[in-house]
Amino acid sequence: MTEKAKRKSKIAGKQSVLFTNPPYIIAGAGVAGKKEGEGPLGSLFDIVKEDPMFGKKNWEDAESELMKEAAQEVLKKAGMKSDSIRYLVGGDLLGQLIATSFGIAELNIPMFGIYGACSTMGEAMSLGAMLVDGGYAEKVMSLTSSHFAGAEKQFRMPLDYGNQRPYSATWTVTGSGAVIIAKDNHKKAGNNEADIVIAGLTTGKIVDYGIKDSMNMGAAMAPAAFDTIKQNFEDLDVKPDYYDKIITGDLGYIGKNILIDLLKEKGYDISSNHMDCGIEIYDKDSQDTHAGGSGCGCSALTFTCYIMKQLRERNWTRVLFVPTGALLSQVSFNEGNTVPGIAHAVIVEAV
């Protein structure tokens, strides 16, 4: 980063924030479904559940249970009770955020419900980091979830219908990830792992290239990821190699190519350090998930269980984490509207 970006204000450029005293991510936890547990990252998840109903009677209650377990697990890993958390910032893909409302109600934490489609983890971590850095909270929990069957019911076809899925379609991840963001670090003595901090943010705008195919959300979201990543480079006056990894949420195979091409046109080559959570979470050859994984849980699970591990072990030092969201509903799709995208970038560092 050049001196241009090192200003006294927390504000960097048009859409970014750089924290003078970056807040810590003191714990992360992920709870995954069976299919995700069988994928390449399966062994890293804190909890893998065999029962897709999570012991409940419907998909929505199942997702609430999933989120509740992620919240409980992250509290356990941090050695805290829920009354240590001043704010909860979270959301999901279901209309009116019912997975979140019913999942976290009994934690009894003041709550900001948010919706950014599959970019929600980026939005939750951005707001969480600012609430902590701004002095409004010692600790904030940011979390989100998605459930394959609930999402299919919400956005696509009833599962019983057994319709075929085009190769451009992604597979909604059944999973929930939660982090605790804190002002102070709680490192155990003798622990040699790196601490993880949120060094900055670039908040996304709604970007709409006119894509109308809800079975090709990678194409719908790639322009938003492009817009946010390009803005991050400009606001910080950095090049792609400033980051060890630039990690999008759920662009999948199609969206990844579009993103790399769009950035190349602007003179930025991220082909060697780009990674997409939707590509990492399933095995392309054996899991029949077509364009890759998607859903709020996709980036949240990958972040809490894989990306945080790479940072803790100092395999990576600086990551641009960019969850990506497609802002459609079944109603907007049925009315012939486009699928606008949004992407929120979080700069995460090992220190």
**Least Å distance between CB 95 and its own copies?**
3
Closest distance to its own copies from the beta carbon of 42 (Å):
30
Count other Cβ atoms within 10 Å, centred on residue 30: 28
Binding flag, residue 170, its own copies (CB under 8 A): no
- CB-nearer residue toward its own copies: 168 or 329: 329
The owner of tokens 């559940």 is 49
Among 80, 93, 258, 322, binds its own copies (CB under 8 A): 93
Hey, what are 276's tokens? 């997409």
Judged by CB under 8 A, does residue 216 bind its own copies?
no
Token pair in block for residue 174: 């059944």
Cβ–Cβ < 8 Å for 229, 321: no
90's tokens: 């979270």
* Interaction mask 4-23, its own copies, x per CB under 8 A: -----xxx---x-x------
Read off the DSSP letter of residue 306: I
Quick note: the x/- pattern for its own copies over 115-134, rule CB under 8 A, is xxx-----x--xx--xx-xx
136 near its own copies (CB under 8 A): yes
CB of 109 to its own copies, least distance (A): 7
User: What is the smallest separation between the CB atom of 135 and its own copies, expressed in angstroms?
Assistant: 5
Cβ contact 235:15 at 8 Å: yes
Q: What minimum distance in Å lies between the beta carbon of 96 and its own copies? A: 4
Cβ nearer to its own copies, comparing 70 with 97: 97
Q: Is 81 in the site for its own copies (CB under 8 A)?
A: no
Query: For residue 66, what are the β-bridge partners?
Result: none
> Rounded distance, CA 251 to CA 253, Å?
7
Token pair listed for 41? 């990252």
Q: Dihedral angle at the C-alpha atoms of 176, 181, 185, 186, nearest 10 degrees?
A: -40
Q: Can residue 146 be called a binding residue for its own copies (CB under 8 A)? A: no
Binders in 305-344 for its own copies, by CB under 8 A: 327-332, 335, 337, 340, 342
Print the binding letters for residues 32-71 with its own copies: x by CB under 8 A, - otherwise: --------------------------x-xx----------
The CA dihedral of 184, 249, 161, 156, to the nearest 10 degrees, is: 90
Q: Please tell me the distance from the alpha carbon of residue 115 to that of residue 124, in angstroms, as a whole number.
A: 9
Burial 305-321 (b: 16+ CB within 10 A, else e): bbbbebbbeeebebbbb
Among 95, 158, 166, 267, contact with its own copies (rule: CB under 8 A): 95
SS3 at position 212: coil
> How many residues bind to its own copies according to rule CB under 8 A?
57
The correct pick among 41, 109, 225, 308 for binding its own copies (CB under 8 A) is 109
User: Does residue 204 interact with its own copies by CB under 8 A?
Assistant: yes
When asked if residue 104 is in the footprint of its own copies (CB under 8 A), the reply is yes
Contact status, residue 178 vs residue 28, Cβ threshold 8 Å: yes
- Residue 195 carries which DSSP code? P
**Cα separation values, 343 from 19, 66, 99, 161, 232, Å:** 20, 24, 22, 32, 11
Distance from C-alpha of 111 to C-alpha of 304, rounded to nearest angstrom: 21
97 near its own copies, rule: CB under 8 A: yes
Q: Which of residues 283-312 bind its own copies (CB under 8 A)?
A: none
* Contact status: 186 vs its own copies (CB under 8 A): no
Binding region for its own copies (CB under 8 A): 9-11, 15, 17, 58, 60-61, 86-87, 91, 93-98, 101-102, 104-105, 108-117, 123, 126-127, 130-131, 133-137, 154, 203-206, 208, 327-332, 335, 337, 340, 342
